[in-house]
Structure formats: C-alpha cells, structure tokens
Amino acid sequence: MKSWKDDPRADTNPLFNDNAIKLGVFGLNGIGISMTDAPEAAKADWNESATVAKMADEGGFEAIVPYSRWRGYIEEEPAHRSGLALDSYTWAAATSQIAPRPSIFSTSHVPTIHPIAAAKQCATIDQISGGRFGLNVVAGWNKPELDMFGASMLDHEDRYGQAAEWIEILRELWTRDEAFDYEGRYYTIKKGISLPKPIQKPMPPIMNAGGSDRGRAFAAKYSDMAFVIIRSDDPDEIRREADHYRDLARTEHGRDLQVWTLAYVVQRDTEQEARDYLNYYAVEHGDDRSLEGFMAMHNMHSQLLPKDVMEAMKFRLKAGHGGFELVGTADKITSRLELLAKAGIDGALLNWVGYEDGVGRWVKDVMPRLRQAGLRRT
C-alpha cells in the first residue's frame, strides 16, 4: 500500500510534506467561523484576505481553506452577516497568485454545482496555482441554501450517495483523455470530457468531513484528508478517532489518508489575557442569533441535553464552531499541538477572530516553538 508520505503530488503541493503537524488558515474568504459581533472580526473583505494570505504564505502554512456560504443562518434574515463569504472558487484562483507556496482550496457543496463545472474550475485553478489546488467536498447540509438553488435536501444516506457519484465523475473528468458516458442515480453524463487536466496526478487532493458512520466510510474511500472535530483532550480518545479513519481506508480500500482537525486560536502573553479575550468575543459579543439559527438548522434541541452540557456546546460553537481549543500563551498552544501530533493528528485548520493580528502573533511566537519541539522543519 502506498503511503501519502510518498505521494508524487509532494513535488508541487506542500500538503504532502513531512511536517509532523501541518497547518492551515480556515475561513479567510468570509467572516471566520466564530459567532461573534466583535468589531475586529473579519468582514469578507478581499484586501484583508489578501494581506493575511501573504502572511500565511511567508509564515510557512501548508494550506489556506475557505468555506462556502450563500446566505445567513437566520431564517427570517437571509442577508444577515453570517452569510458573508467570497465565492470559494474565484477566491482560490486569486489567492493562489498572491500566496505562491501553500495549497489553496475551494469548498464545494455538492448540490450547488454540477460536477462537470466543478471539474473544469478545479483543473483551471490547479493550472493557475502550479499544482497546489485542493478541494474540500461537502455533501450538503444547509437546507435554506439548497432551497435557493432549487435543490432537494436529501436524507443522510442519499446525500453521501450523490456526493460519491459527484466525486467519481470528477475523477473520470480529471483522468480520462477520451469522452465517457456515466449513468447513475443522481447524474447522467453523455460523452463527458474536461480539458485541460489538472497538473497534479492523478488528481488534486480531496478533503472531507464526516462524523457519522456513513460519513467516515465516505471519507475513507474518497478523501486524501479526513477532517474530524475533536471533542476531548484525552490523547487516547483522539487517537481512536483518527485511527478509525485510517483503518477504514487501509482495510476497505487499500489506501492511506491524513487526518486533520479544526481549532480556534486565542494567543496572548498570559493565560488570563487569552481567557479574557475569549470571553469578550464569545460571550460579551457572542452572536446568539446566528447560534440559534445554526442550531435550528441542525435540529439541536436544548431539551435533549442537560443544561450544563448544552451551554458548553453553545460556547464552543460561538468560540470556534466546536473546534479544538488553542487558547493561552505560545507555550501552551505549542503543548496542545504536541498533544494532537502524538495522538495521530496530521494537520490543523486554524481560525482567529482577527486574522491579521492572530496570524502575526502565531508566526512570530508559535512557529519557532513548533520547530524547537520537532513538529515542523526549520
């Protein structure tokens, strides 16, 4: 079985380097993933995004990953700021030109774009970026957004069935030189072809997040990076979650994959300063209306959980979409990343409320410590 560490795409794409913990900036095309009204929060502004992308490039990050968003979380207020996001495909093409080293992703919700159009756009960005493109595939979960497209909100199993056909068609379009027909349950292709092909062979890497059994099976079969939400600080529990994906990929499909996670960052000179800022943006300026809208979309009913558990979950969602906590001093954050690496996590996508300030602090103080700890190369 071939390891991703020997992947030929490493010639152009830093996702396949040998750093023990790889790093990416997440949500830079929008307002970030923290639910906050803090005035310094991102505003889906291209100039701000471009500035931070250059900082991430110069600081040695492996990836910059956007999200896809078409409307706000509040049902009765579609134009709410929670829907602010630059289109992830055109954003990726532009960002690849100002950040010449990291892997640049697009995020695509399967029901919102036809696979032929997606394949062409992805191959184009791979050409533009010199073989550094990556695709984050989302099966589709936001019903109000799908309603905008006139797309049906399928049940859980069917969503992954459609996503499987979608990726299979992309693979054919990226790798076959001759036209082909495809007859599936969700797509019918007549003499499909896409030119030019991507630079990366056999194809650009795929990232996918799936927490259910069906989602894990999908990620194990189709993705190069499985994206997991970590809900524990116990390294044994984290390793069990990561190994579950790897074991599925190896035993069922004879392939290897990376396991990444999401983390929110509050870095300050003291632990107290970091905790105070976390409270400032997640509590004092917490966007409770977006939180309630998001929870309603996911049928997160308060009566199903004890009050203290529900309040903790709400706080984590506002703080950073339920991601892993990286809060404290540079030393504390380094030790937390050491925990992830030792538990089998290959990479972390990071989010800050104020990206420019946060990435600047990270590059200055955390990156040197990660090198000293042996987690990253000099």
pLDDT in tens, 103-117: 999 999 998 899 999
Q: Is 313 helix (H, G, I), strand (E, B) or coil?
A: helix
How much is the pLDDT for 5? 66
Q: Is 46:361 a contact under the CB 8 Å cutoff?
A: no
Q: Is 77 helix (H, G, I), strand (E, B) or coil?
A: coil
Taking 50 as the pLDDT cut, the residues of the chain under it are 1-2
Considering the entire predicted model, what is its pTM?
A: 0.94
How much is the pLDDT for 224? 96
How much is the pLDDT for 300? 59
CATH topology of domain 4-372: TIM Barrel (3.20.20)
Compute the chain's Rg from CA coordinates. 20
Amino acid at 45: D
Q: What is the DSSP letter of 109?
A: E
How much is the pLDDT for 373? 97
pLDDT averaged over the chain? Answer: 92
How much is the pLDDT for 6? 80
The full set of domain ranges for the chain reads 4-372
How much is the pLDDT for 82? 79
Q: Is 8:201 a contact under the CB 8 Å cutoff?
A: yes
| DSSP character string of 229-294 | ------HHHHHHHHHHHHHHHHHHHS---EEEEEEEEEE-SSHHHHHHHHHIIIIITB-HHHHHHH
Distance CA 289, CA 44 (A): 19
Q: Is 333 helix (H, G, I), strand (E, B) or coil?
A: helix
How much is the pLDDT for 301? 57
Closest CA to 376 of 333, 344, 347, 343: 347
Q: Are strands 206-209 and 133-138 parallel, antiparallel or unpaired?
A: parallel
How much is the pLDDT for 222? 94
Q: Alpha carbon 373 to chain centroid distance?
A: 25
